[in-house]
């Protein structure tokens, strides 16, 4: 019997491994994977490159939104994000983007611009999307919803090691500070703050390995697709 295609929403705090798990699930199911945070990061990168990142230039950024084209393409078995035709997967992960993205993600016009594009990816189902408001706002009817949490020091260590491997020498204390600040902004913004949807399965990943998290997700997902 053909399996039913569904939408899987993975929300949660920064650096809890949402993207890693979302990618694995999408691969296993042969679904489309969309990293909605990368879309906010691409807008932030655009603003940085156009010199309109400062708060005083927000209106210019809002007017320029229609000039921003974001696409996801697969190459060498990895999915990469493109900003106006240029692959920017590494550029959107830089610390200058980390420090500004949450502020830009508070702006209603930016959220609305990306919301429409995110919704579009769900037209044919067969989608795994991770972010902050996927289960609450973007796909409130998603068949499977997860919410990842972990203590801040565990997340900071994770992010620090990731950056270190890439050759970025940001201090651990800076990384931790950035995580604390992003949590504060993401959970307190007035529009679509980071919240667990009442029907989402909450997973504290602090003491779990990548495989243990995957197993937990798969237990729920396999029940929904069969």
Q: Catalog residues that contact ligand DC under the rule CB under 6 A.
A: 14, 36-37, 40-41, 101-102, 105, 131-134, 182, 186
In the complex, minimum distance from the CB of residue 218 to ligand DC, in angstroms, rounded to a whole number: 22
DSSP code, position 167: T
Residues forming beta bridges with residue 149, ordered by sequence position: 204
Residue whose CB is less far from ligand DC, 134 or 222: 134
48 with 97: CB under 8 angstroms? yes
Residue whose CB is less far from ligand DC, 132 or 158: 132
Residue whose CB is less far from ligand DC, 36 or 197: 36
What's the rounded Cα separation, in Å, for the pair 100 and 94? 10
In the complex, minimum distance from the CB of residue 60 to ligand DC, in angstroms, rounded to a whole number: 20
Q: How far is CA 108 from CA 4, 21, 114, in A?
A: 34, 28, 10
In the complex, minimum distance from the CB of residue 102 to ligand DC, in angstroms, rounded to a whole number: 4
144 with 221: CB under 8 angstroms? yes
What's the rounded Cα separation, in Å, for the pair 176 and 203? 21
Residue whose CB is less far from ligand DC, 38 or 217: 38
């Amino acid at each position: 019997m053909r399996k039913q295609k569904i939408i899987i929403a993975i929300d949660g705090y920064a650096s809890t491994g949402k993207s890693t798990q979302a990618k694995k699930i999408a691969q296993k199911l042969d679904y489309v994977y969309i990293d909605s945070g990368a879309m906010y990061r691409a807008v932030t990168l655009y603003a940085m490159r156009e010199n309109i990142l400062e708060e005083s230039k927000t209106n210019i950024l809002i007017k320029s939104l229609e000039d921003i084209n974001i696409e996801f393409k697969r190459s060498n078995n990895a999915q990469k994000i493109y900003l106006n035709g240029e692959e920017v997967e590494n550029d959107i992960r830089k610390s200058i983007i980390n420090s500004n993205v949450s502020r830009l993600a508070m702006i209603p016009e930016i959220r609305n611009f990306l919301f429409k594009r995110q919704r579009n990816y769900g037209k044919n189902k067969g989608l795994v999307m991770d972010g902050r408001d996927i289960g609450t706002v973007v796909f409130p009817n998603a068949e499977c919803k997860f919410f990842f949490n972990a203590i801040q020091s565990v997340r900071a260590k994770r992010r620090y090691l990731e950056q270190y491997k890439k050759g970025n020498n940001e201090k651990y204390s800076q990384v931790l500070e950035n995580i604390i600040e992003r949590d504060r902004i993401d959970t307190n913004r007035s529009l679509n703050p980071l919240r667990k949807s009442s029907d989402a399965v909450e997973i504290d990943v602090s003491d779990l390995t990548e495989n243990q998290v995957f197993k937990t997700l798969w237990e729920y997902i396999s029940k929904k697709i069969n």
